[in-house]
Chain A
Amino acid sequence: KAGVTQTPRYLIKTRGQQVTLSCSPISGHRSVSWYQQTPGQGLQFLFEYFSETQRNKGNFPGRFSGRQFSNSRSEMNVSTLELGDSALYLCASSLDGRGNSPLHFGNGTRLTVT
């Protein structure tokens, strides 16, 4: 089975721009979660989607949004980029999104905002 695929791997954007990150989950997985990882803040939960519906949301501003398609693929969008948005963005898929279902992470998209 193919793992979780995130594209692109690296991205450099300018402050004020917007960006879209993509995630393809493991086949059969219906839940996709997004995390922001920075050296000082660890793993910060952004949101979780299940069957095209946002089921959980972390404490991030409205500039961060996402969506899930009928094939479970997910995208995450950040508008009006700020320097502090520079981070590794990780996508994780699981069968049903329950906390005791193992999360399978992609290798992330490294976003740099200049």
Chain B
Amino acid sequence: QQQVKQSPQSLIVQKGGISIINCAYENTAFDYFPWYQQFPGKGPALLIAIRPDVSEKKEGRFTISFNKSAKQFSLHIMDSQPGDSATYFCAAVLGGNYQLIWGAGTKLIIKP
């Protein structure tokens, strides 16, 4: 119940295409869902986050879509660029808790 399942494990997308990474969870008490982006040789950095009372959040080319009934959320990267090549982690937080439950990560490669 505490798991967050992330897919795919790796993804190759052509430049200009849409990259989609999916995450699923079981525990309906999760109330905050951040995405982190990690470039090689660097630590992860917060990219975008959403709460379950919102179905979509957009920041530039990055959009989180949230489906509360299906207990799924996804990251969409529009017009994917080679500079987006990185590992992406989804996570979930239990209300009032201090700990993130992490997905396993997706290695995204954008081909020029």
A residues touching B (Cβ–Cβ < 8 Å)?
4, 31, 42-43, 45, 48, 50, 55-56, 90, 92, 97-100, 102-108
Contacts and interface: CB of A to CB of B under 8 A. Distances in A.
Contact of A107 (B43, B49, B93, B98): B43
Contacts, number: 55
Give the bracket for the number of chain B residues in contact with chain A.
20 to 34
B94 interface: yes
Contacts of A92: 43
B66 interface: no
The secondary-structure label for the interface of chain A is strand
B43 A4 contact: yes
Given A42-B105, A56-B99, A99 B44 contact: no
A43 B89 contact: yes
B100 A99 contact: yes
Interface string B25-48: 000000010101000011111100
A104 B37 CA distance: 12
